[in-house]
Structure 1
Amino acid sequence: MNLAATRIFTDDVDALVAFYEQVTGIAAARVHPMFAELRTPTGTLAIASTATVPLLGADAARGGANRSVALDFLVDDVDETYRALRGGVSAFVHQPTDMPWGNRSLLVRDPDGNLINFFTPVTAAAGERFATRPQE
């Protein structure tokens, strides 16, 4: 089994797509006005309008209500990512910090309040966990 995508439901697809295009440098594929995908070598981030939720079942999802999941983006240099994002991201949770599990991590929130972690392995053990995964 492979995880194919992570989907965020939002009331403002255009704003969320613009945010993720800016912070990732990846152009979204607009499959439909209510749906977009940012495709990376290791997975896809899908962004869907909350107007699509009734197709899934009553109250199956709610935009802007997440406080239990973080999106993790492996980057070459988290400090450079921080410098690049300072002018365009308004909600920093914390600046680059070394974590006990061997990553240097930067946490921000997207326009809907979802937590995003940009990280770079800084120890050999952390680097080995990601060495076999494809990168851009």
Structure 2
Amino acid sequence: MVRYGYTILYITDPVKTRSFYHGLLGLPIKAEHGSYTEFETGTTVLAFNTKEDVRSMIPYELPDKTGQQSIELGFVTDDVQQLYETIRAAGHETVLPPTEKPWGQIVAYVLDPDGHLIELCSPVSSSN
């Protein structure tokens, strides 16, 4: 049996990343080892590390630039507007203010310190 265990995204500044995901989003820190940080998100771990650290551990040349956006992280919250405003007030780039989708869900988009696309969304109602 195979199960999905974790996601690791590559970053440039561990301090800024911890500030965004722990300080602004409120995710509990599960583990920290140098530039590597794991956050509790439920059943799957979300982790971050610098490319330099990964290059020192495995024989794989990670590119310096990731190119076009190819991942989106979604975080469910009961107050999308408040979280969006908190992130905006902290100086992070925003993409889309809170918007109601046809199915009733509220979504907003921001960028984390490394430009990863972050969706802030309300829970999806089972009646929608």
CA RMSD of aligned residues (A): 2.3
**What SS does structure 2 have at the residue aligned with 1:40?**
coil
2:25·2:83 contact (CA, 8 Å) conserved in 1? Answer: no
Equivalent residue, structure 2, for 1:35: 36
**Shift, 1:62, TM fit:** 4.4
| Equivalent runs, 1:47-126 vs 2, <5 Å | 47-54=48-55, 55-60=57-62, 62=64, 65=67, 67-121=69-123, 126=124
Give the equivalent residue in structure 2 for 1:2. Answer: 3
Match of 2:47 in 1: 46
Task: Kindly tell me the number of residue pairs found equivalent between the two proteins.
Answer: 125
- SS of match in other structure, 2:40: strand
Query: Which ranges of structure 1 fall in alignment gaps of 5 or more residues?
Result: 130-136
Q: Is the 8 A contact 1:76 1:120 kept in 2?
A: yes
- Where structure 2 has 5 or more consecutive residues not aligned to the other structure, the ranges are none
Partner of 2:126: 128
Aligned partners of 1:13, 1:118: CA distance in 2, in Å?
Answer: 21
Aligned equivalents of 1:69, 1:44: Cα separation in 2: 16
How far apart are the structure 1 equivalents of 2:115 and 2:72?
10
CA distance in 2 between partners of 1:85 and 1:28 (Å): 19
- Is the alpha carbon distance of 1:41 and 1:59 closer, same or farther for their aligned partners in structure 2, counting shifts above 3 Å? same
**Which is further off, 53-62 or 108-117?**
53-62
Question: Are residues 89 and 78 of structure 1, via their aligned partners in 2, closer, same or farther at CA, if it must alter by over 3 Å?
Answer: same
1: CA distance between counterparts of 2:41 and 2:80? 18
Taking structure 1 as the reference length, the TM-score comes to 0.77
Tell me how far 1:53 sits from its aligned partner: 2.7
Name the CA distance, whole Å, in 2 between partners of 1:101 and 1:88. Answer: 30
1:15 positional shift: 1.6
